[in-house]
Amino acid sequence: MRFPTNRGAAALLATAALVLAPSVAWGQSESGAQDEDDRQRRGRDGSSDIVVTGRSLKTEEGALPVQVLEGDALVHRRQGGLGETLAGLPGIHLDNFGGGASRPVIRGQTLPRIEVLSDGANLFDVSSVSPDHAITTDPLLLDAIEIQRGPSAIRYGGNATNGAINLIDSKVPKSVPVGGVSGATEVRYGTGDEEKTVVGRITAGVGQFALHAEGARRAAEDYDVPDAYGSDRLRDSFAESTSYAVGASWVTSKGYIGAAYSRMESEYGLPGHSHRNAVCHTHGLDLHCAAHGSFEDPFGGPDDHTAAIRLRSDRVDVRADYTDLLPGFSDARLRLSYTDYAHDEIDGDLLFTRFTNEVWDGRLELTHKPVLGFTGTLGVQYTDGRFGGINVNDLHKPFPEGAYGFDGNPDFLTENVGIFFTERRSFGALDIEAAVRKDWRRIDVTVPTWRSTLSPEVEALFVEWYGTEWKNILEGEDVDAFRARNPTVRHNPFSASLGATWNVGQGYALALSLGHTERAPSVRELYARGNNLATNSYELGLAVGNPILGEAGLSAEDVLEKTDAINLTFRRAGGPLEFEVGLFYQSVDDYVFARLQETETETGIPHNFLIYTAADARFAGIDGQVSYAFDPSSRLTLFGDYVDADLKRQDDNLPRIPPGRLGARYDVSTGAVSGDVEYYRTFAQDKLAAYETRTPGYDMLNATLSYRLDLGQTKGVELYVRGTNLLNELAFAHTSFVKDQSPLRGRSLAIGMRHSF
């Protein structure tokens, strides 16, 4: 099938935006630099314990475990990247790449099997393409982060196989501030990397209109590492970023509709990066890393330059949430977004790669009123994207004289239509919920421009050999070969889940969910054909003449990752003793991963030849936490997680699976003073893939102390200090593609002040 153009879809959805918007759900309170929004809610709702977030995920109602990081906990844990901010929460580990890029790992898997959302709308960047690519969000400007693990997040598509992370912000105001104006500021300094951070935000109301502006600036040098690494700082781990947004909303008694423009700029180093292996190429299934003939080193020269990424992301969001807008529907919500993303990868003064991603996306949801006791939501999503940048390492080299062929690089055009439906009903103490989603996705690859710079003498020879139409003949041959190597790929995944929650009473609940999720391979998994210098690997995708699929008589369209999952969660909320413990099991057919073909060491730096393939896999594990309040001012929490993964019928293991972890945290609050101490042990990982090495375990000790000064009314100041890795342990994340060249941060103190008005 052929989908409508992005302009047509955008126009249609923009018209709908004038009258529709997303459903409202009730979540938990938020505080911190978002104090201004708390005051708005107190003025509207009469309580600081209720917050409208536009379908927040509710721990006490869902059949799957959900975590909410907000308030002081979010402010104190915030780092430059999303992965570092969330690392240490039960079930969540870190895939790090220096100080600029970090991705969360949920239950053993990271992007593209985790969907990152911006207030319920997909966040479009290129972080799922390579681990050195940052997630385009600034934790400094977030009000809360909601993490849902498990297949009930299928309403967001097959990429949410292992969960969804919803980033809650205030760039589109949801209410008019009480008193007309509210705001917050924050400054912070970090000792371990000389971090200097400034954050500010303000919301003003005029009648039924609310205007919002916010911004953050963060600059950090190379971060400290323990001396045992061989150096006291990690070279090229610096990171700096600037983020800002402006938004406005029209607020009524039934909801709001608003829009915002946001921009993020970032520059960060790539520790341990080398271009020596840029010369690597293949001869059939043999990897060769020496220059000869037409295979040249696109860089040449020394390999001691700083490599860095310079990133820019512009995004426009339209959001709306209304209640009782249409007959028969209790809620309506709309999310529209346009994303224009680009980043340059630079080695010294050479620009060798540019990644781009331009995406139009629209999502409409309608929640019907109870019918025979059932409430549910019907939704549709349309996405049109243009992506480019993979398989390129020689952007700095001009088209040569005396040559012919393609000049430029292809774009990958993705069109996706998804429809989804959820239903829910309570039968006394038993809550039942079900969800289904169907997608139709198509990826086309554009053919680059063909040109010739042959001399007249050589052209005369081609006329003699091919005739006067020699250019058309040669171009046609090249185009046919290109299309054969880069075919159009279509997938139509279907996902469904069924969950039940038994509310036993006295705060106890037992939740069971079953899910079947289908995920289509990503662009990199399909079309990779070349060197990835960030991970020191040469990669071959599923759709570009893959020999493993060829031997099996399969095409890329035959590969669809299918996961059958079961999740069991036991929780208790309220009272001194609270806990949430989850068990999970996943059986995956056609799990897509990069299989090692060989490792070449000719340049002195090992380079892995990886071929994407599919095999059956299994994941199983446990995660959760148990806490006990000794009194209203102190609480002890024990937490941990463990994942076991296995490649069925294969003599190998899956790579980068996190090891087990156990820890404890003690929180105390007495008047204006509060603090916490957290310790956890991450165990060694001995279960390795063919090209991995053992990762030793480590101990991590963190602590926070804060003092809050109430200035009356809605004003307040908080002073805080947070120490991380106080034991100064040399620690490596087994989940990282570059664990040996990018150890975790050494001992560091973050000293900050927040002011609300």
pLDDT computed for residue 650 by the predictor:
86
Beta bridge partners of 362: 336, 382
Q: For the chain, give the percent of residues with pLDDT over 90.
A: 83
Concatenated DSSP letters of 426-437: EETTEEEEEEEE
H helix or E strand, kind and range, residue 131: none
CA gap 714, 754 in Å, rounded: 13
pLDDT computed for residue 173 by the predictor:
97
Place of tokens 């969001």: 317
Concatenated DSSP letters of 707-742: EEEE-STT-EEEEEEEEESTT------TT-TTTTTS
Residue 15: strand, helix, or coil: helix
- Those residues with Cβ within 8 angstroms of residue 476's Cβ, 6 or more apart along the chain or in another chain: none
pLDDT in tens, 683-711: 999 999 988 999 999 999 999 999 999 88
CA gap 250, 134 in Å, rounded: 33
pLDDT in tens, 55-100: 333 333 456 667 899 988 898 899 889 999 999 999 999 999 999 9
pLDDT computed for residue 630 by the predictor:
97
Q: Which of 37-51, 285-299, 637-651, 730-744 has the lowest mean pLDDT?
A: 37-51
pLDDT computed for residue 272 by the predictor:
87
Q: Say yes or no to pLDDT of 309 above 50.
A: yes
* C-alpha distances out from residue 556 to 438, 443, 491, 564, Å: 19, 12, 9, 21
CA gap 547, 549 in Å, rounded: 5
CA proximity to 571, closest of 559, 585, 560, 582: 582
pLDDT computed for residue 294 by the predictor:
80
What does pLDDT average to over the chain? 90
Mean pLDDT, residues 139-157: 85
DSSP 428: T
> Is residue 238 within 8 Å of 221, Cβ to Cβ?
yes
Dihedral pair phi/psi, residue 90, rounded to 5°: -55, 125
Task: Give me the helices (H) in 170-309, please.
Answer: none
Q: For the chain, give the percent of residues with pLDDT over 70.
A: 91
- Those residues with Cβ within 8 angstroms of residue 284's Cβ, 6 or more apart along the chain or in another chain: none
pLDDT computed for residue 7 by the predictor:
38
Buried b (16+ CB within 10 A) or exposed e, 453-483: ebeeeeeeebeeeeeeebbeebbeebeeebe
Token duo for residue 644: 């076991």
pLDDT in tens, 224-236: 999 999 999 999 9
CA gap 660, 107 in Å, rounded: 11
Q: SS3 letters for 385-411?
A: EEEECCCCCCCCCCCCCCCEEEECCCE
CA proximity to 688, closest of 657, 720, 731, 643: 657
Token duo for residue 397: 């080299």
Mean pLDDT, residues 295-321: 92
E-strand ranges in 552-672 read 561-572, 577-600, 607-631, 634-647, 661-670
Mean pLDDT, residues 10-21: 37
Of residues 33 and 732, the one with the higher pLDDT is 732
Mean pLDDT, residues 361-381: 97
Place of tokens 């430059």: 80
pTM for the model stands at 0.90
Mean pLDDT, residues 35-63: 37
pLDDT in tens, 263-300: 999 999 999 889 999 999 999 899 999 988 888 889 88
**Prior bond of 139 cis (ω within 30°):** no
* 508-519 vs 255-269, strand pairing mode: unpaired
pLDDT in tens, 476-518: 999 999 999 999 999 999 999 999 999 999 999 999 999 999 9
Q: Say yes or no to pLDDT of 193 above 90.
A: yes
pLDDT computed for residue 151 by the predictor:
57
The model's confidence at residue 660, banded by pLDDT at 50, 70 and 90, is very high
pLDDT computed for residue 39 by the predictor:
38
Q: Say yes or no to pLDDT of 50 above 60.
A: no
> Is residue 287 within 8 Å of 597, Cβ to Cβ?
yes
pLDDT computed for residue 35 by the predictor:
40
pLDDT computed for residue 149 by the predictor:
72
pLDDT computed for residue 64 by the predictor:
61
CA gap 381, 117 in Å, rounded: 14
Interhelix angle 456-466/470-485, rounded to 10 degrees, is: 80
How would you classify residue 535: left for phi > 0, otherwise alpha for psi between -120 and 50, otherwise beta?
A: alpha
Dihedral pair phi/psi, residue 601, rounded to 5°: -120, 20
Q: Say yes or no to pLDDT of 32 above 50.
A: no
The model's confidence at residue 201, banded by pLDDT at 50, 70 and 90, is very high
Mean pLDDT, residues 166-192: 95
pLDDT computed for residue 304 by the predictor:
84
Domain ranges of the chain: 52-756
pLDDT computed for residue 15 by the predictor:
34
The model's confidence at residue 628, banded by pLDDT at 50, 70 and 90, is very high
How would you classify residue 630: left for phi > 0, otherwise alpha for psi between -120 and 50, otherwise beta?
A: alpha
Q: What is the CATH number of domain 52-756?
A: 2.40.170.20
Mean pLDDT, residues 628-645: 97
Buried b (16+ CB within 10 A) or exposed e, 527-552: bbbbbbbbbbbbbbbbbbebebbeee
In 3-state terms the chain splits into helix, strand, coil percentages (rounded to 5) of 15, 50, 35
